[in-house]
């Protein structure tokens, strides 16, 4: 009797573990598929001393990856203070940055490299990220 109960308990516990593992695996696979479907990659050019496009729009909650090419002769980078984005990109290089779009609003994009030009040139490197409701 005791043995049977123990065995039953073990089988039940094992089933539960298997069930949990398979459902977790299923969920993460589904999540990956969704990300691949809706993650647009927007090509952005940073140069000496500006952004193209200078306005980027995305819907709140939609995933967005910026593929940033530095076509300038100086090192630049993307800095979005309010979103915690700060990544440099050397001249001639390409980086990808994923943007957190959970908060709607207007965010200033700046150059992350204060030494990319003189103070005026660097200060002019502004673009706008619009996350709409």
**116 makes contact with Cu ion (CB under 5 A):** yes
Q: Rounded to the nearest whole angstrom, what is the least distance from the CB of residue 95 to Cu ion in the complex?
A: 14
Among 56, 76, 89, 97, binds Cu ion (CB under 5 A): 76
Q: Rounded to the nearest whole angstrom, what is the least distance from the CB of residue 18 to Cu ion in the complex?
A: 54
**111 makes contact with Cu ion (CB under 5 A):** yes
# residues contacting Cu ion (CB under 5 A) = 5
Q: Rounded to the nearest whole angstrom, what is the least distance from the CB of residue 116 to Cu ion in the complex?
A: 3
What is the rounded end-to-end Cα distance, in angstroms, of the chain? Answer: 62
Q: What are the strands, taking DSSP E only, across 1-133?
A: 41-47, 50-52, 55-59, 64-70, 76-80, 85-89, 94-99, 105-111, 127-132
The dihedral of CA 49, 86, 91, 117: what is its sign? positive
Any idea what the Cα angle at residue 123 is, between residues 119 and 126, rounded to 5°?
Answer: 160
**89 makes contact with Cu ion (CB under 5 A):** no
Stretch that binds Cu ion, among 1-9, 36-44, 93-101, 125-133 (CB under 5 A): 125-133
Residue closer to Cu ion (CB basis): 78 or 131 = 78
């Amino acid at each position: 009797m005791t043995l049977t109960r123990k065995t039953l308990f073990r089988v039940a516990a094992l089933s539960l573990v298997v069930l949990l593992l398979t459902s977790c695996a299923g969920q993460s696979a589904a999540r990956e598929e969704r990300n691949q479907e809706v993650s647009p990659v927007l090509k952005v050019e940073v140069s000496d001393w500006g952004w193209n496009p200078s306005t980027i729009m995305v819907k709140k909650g939609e995933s967005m990856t910026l593929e940033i090419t530095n076509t300038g002769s100086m090192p630049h980078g993307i800095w979005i203070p309010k979103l915690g984005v700060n990544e440099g990109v050397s001249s001639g290089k390409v980086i990808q940055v994923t943007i957190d779009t959970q908060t709607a609003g207007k965010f200033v994009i700046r150059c992350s490299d204060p030494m990319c030009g003189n103070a005026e040139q660097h200060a002019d490197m502004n673009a706008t990220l619009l996350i709409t409701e």
